[in-house]
Structure 1
Amino acid sequence: MRKLLLAAAAATALAALSGNALAAEKISVVAAENFYGDIAKEVGGSHVDVTSIISNPDDDPHLFEASPSTARALADAAIVVYNGADYDPWMGKLLSASPNPERADIVAAKLTGHKDGDNPHLWYDPATAPAVAAAIAAALEKKDPEHAADYAAGLARFDGSLTPVKAKIEEIKSRYKGVAVTATEPVFGYMAEALGFEMRNMAFQNAVMNDAEPTPSQVAAFENDLKSGAVKILFYNSQVTDSATERLLAIAKQGGVPVVGVTETAPAGKTFAAWMLGELDAVEAALKHSS
């Protein structure tokens, strides 16, 4: 019996070692945000080992603080993907602390022509995900040309997964272009623009985004839009709420303005495309309710 147990233990240890060896053969990808990590998984498939630093949909991404384990993961990464545009400034600092000329750094802001000071919620721009996916595929092919066909196929599958998202955007835009909406902060801004909405209270939103207090006149104008029904949807960041947000949500409810919560992190278990499609479905449902 003891020999059997020892044999089983040895087999388990060998399996673990074998598993570690296989994992070591994979290309290490570290994504600052989990939706970029999902894109890397979809493109790289079984050839990549992906770590997403910000992955909890219940956490406020703005409160993230890098840990020693984060620094170690970045130091060992072959490919790093992050947002840029001052959304995740800690990434640049950590990467500078562990320079690696062999590492491929993919920055969404650089791919899409955005800079610090722009609305940093780039993943809601329909052009961002395809650009990031293409850059990931190119980096993977460069590091692992043997599996270039697999990366091309992964990229094609990912792009194909966005087809229903693009169709939903066009469907909503064709029916509701020009509809006035508002938001507590500009998280959904790029998507609202793609949908053809008229986004109101931008000065209020930018103040919140830049950690400044909106002026009394900006607050009054926002509240008046909700009370008068001048807007058809109130968007808010469901991961970041405070007493001011709660007040606006209550006013919207009293004024019969539908509220749509959006997130900065993909919900657990959802692909990028499924996340986007779910939020667009919520927008469509809200618009039908307000019609």
Structure 2
Amino acid sequence: MLRLIAVCLFGFLIAAPAHAQPGAQPKLRVIASFSILSDMVAQIGGEQITVVTLVPAMADAHVFQPTPSDARAVAHADVLVASGLNFEPWLDRLVAASGFRGRRIVASEDIAPLALRADHDHGHDHGKSGKGRIDDPHLWHDLTRMQAYVGNITQGLAAVDPAHAEGYRARGAAYAAELRALDAWAEAEVGKLPLAQRKVITQHDAFGYLAARYRIAFMAPQGITTEAEASAEAVGRLIRQIRRENVQALFFENIANPRLIEQIAREAKVKVGGRLYSDALSPPGGEADSFVKMYRLNITRLVEAMKRD
């Protein structure tokens, strides 16, 4: 009988969860607003954090509607990481409803955004910072700006959890170096094409930073949000431009219905180049389930499509 009790006690001890042991520090509970940001936070946070994503993979943050379960998740978080520049227009309401008391990190803080004309907004307020000016929130498509973006996440996590600050900084520095190498590769790949061939059609103006970084002309029937439908006038104007300038690279985006791009391709008699990932990753195990994989895939597909004569 004593032997049986000893065996049971031993089994209980080895099965006990690690967090039940005295002195063990619980992981930092982090909420990230959307999947691209969530991957970056996970890369920097490592084993010291758990990350919950509000807007999941393949989902559109422009039209996201938080649920009561999202509010509960935010309420219990230690840290909330957002991109900022009004990319998440629903976030302030969610935070207020949840009673969140933790630390809020804005990844785009102190990063100079690109500006778009007000008529590109299509009725949706995306970070208006002055009369006639709208800030483009899609910063992650410029890997040079991502150095400061990664730095803001790193500093925020280190401030909340100073006991593991050294690890956050080391992983943040390694990740920033990986993005610099990716930027050099992308610049070399796009640089193989003459400027006259660097023309692309996408569904909405999500790639302004990539366009500016690598000198690619992106055109879209919708503005910087997918929330509003493209007008017939805008679609017609774009089709005429495709024909006039012989644009060969048309893409649909992973967060939007491809119907509009397919219609434009049919009328302009141009082949669709496939899918680009704009505002969200693919599901785990997919072709673009990390930011680095997403960016490399986008550049590869863009270059291949723009090569067409």
Normalised-by-shorter TM-score class: 0.7 to 0.9
Matched with 2:37 is 36
Matched with 1:153 is 170
Q: CA deviation at 1:104?
A: 2.4
SS in 2 for 1:65: coil
Q: Distance in 2 between matches of 1:271 and 1:238?
A: 14
Matched with 1:123 is 140
Structure 2 residues not aligned, in runs of 5+: 114-126, 129-133
Q: CA deviation at 1:18?
A: 3.2
- 271, 276, 280: which one pairs with 1:265? 280
Matched with 1:241 is 257
Matched with 1:166 is 183
Matched with 1:226 is 242
Check if 1:278 corresponds to 2:278: no
Q: Give the direction of change, closer, same or farther, for the CA distance of 1:94–1:72 in structure 2 (3 Å limit).
A: same
Check if 1:255 corresponds to 2:254: no
Q: Distance in 1 between matches of 2:270 and 2:141?
A: 27
Taking structure 1 as the reference length, the TM-score comes to 0.82
SS in 1 for 2:38: helix
Q: CA deviation at 1:5?
A: 9.5
Q: CA deviation at 1:30?
A: 0.7
- 16, 24, 31: which one pairs with 1:14? 16
Q: Give the direction of change, closer, same or farther, for the CA distance of 1:106–1:207 in structure 2 (3 Å limit).
A: closer
Q: Distance in 2 between matches of 1:280 and 1:209?
A: 22
**1:195-210 pair list within 5 angstroms:** 195-200=214-219, 204-206=221-223, 209=226
Counterpart of 1:153, as a letter, is A
Check if 1:136 corresponds to 2:153: yes
Check if 1:45 corresponds to 2:46: yes
Q: Give the direction of change, closer, same or farther, for the CA distance of 1:68–1:143 in structure 2 (3 Å limit).
A: same
**Contact residue 229 and residue 256 of structure 1 kept, 8 A:** no
SS in 1 for 2:156: helix
Q: CA deviation at 1:4?
A: 9.2
Matched with 1:105 is 104
Q: Distance in 2 between matches of 1:208 and 1:215?
A: 17
Q: Give the direction of change, closer, same or farther, for the CA distance of 1:257–1:81 in structure 2 (3 Å limit).
A: same
**Contact residue 125 and residue 191 of structure 1 kept, 8 A:** yes
Counterpart of 1:96, as a letter, is A
Cα RMSD, aligned residues only: 3.1
Check if 1:26 corresponds to 2:27: yes
Q: Distance in 1 between matches of 2:256 and 2:14?
A: 45
SS in 1 for 2:51: strand
Q: CA deviation at 1:235?
A: 3.1
Q: CA deviation at 1:113?
A: 3.8
Q: Distance in 2 between matches of 1:120 and 1:187?
A: 8
* Larger helix share, 1 or 2: 1
Q: CA deviation at 1:153?
A: 0.9
Matched with 2:91 is 91
* More displaced stretch, 170-179 vs 84-93: 170-179
- 178, 196, 200: which one pairs with 1:181? 200
Q: CA deviation at 1:229?
A: 5.3
Q: Percent identity?
A: 23
SS in 2 for 1:231: coil
Counterpart of 1:83, as a letter, is S
Check if 1:287 corresponds to 2:295: no
Q: Distance in 2 between matches of 1:60 and 1:139?
A: 26
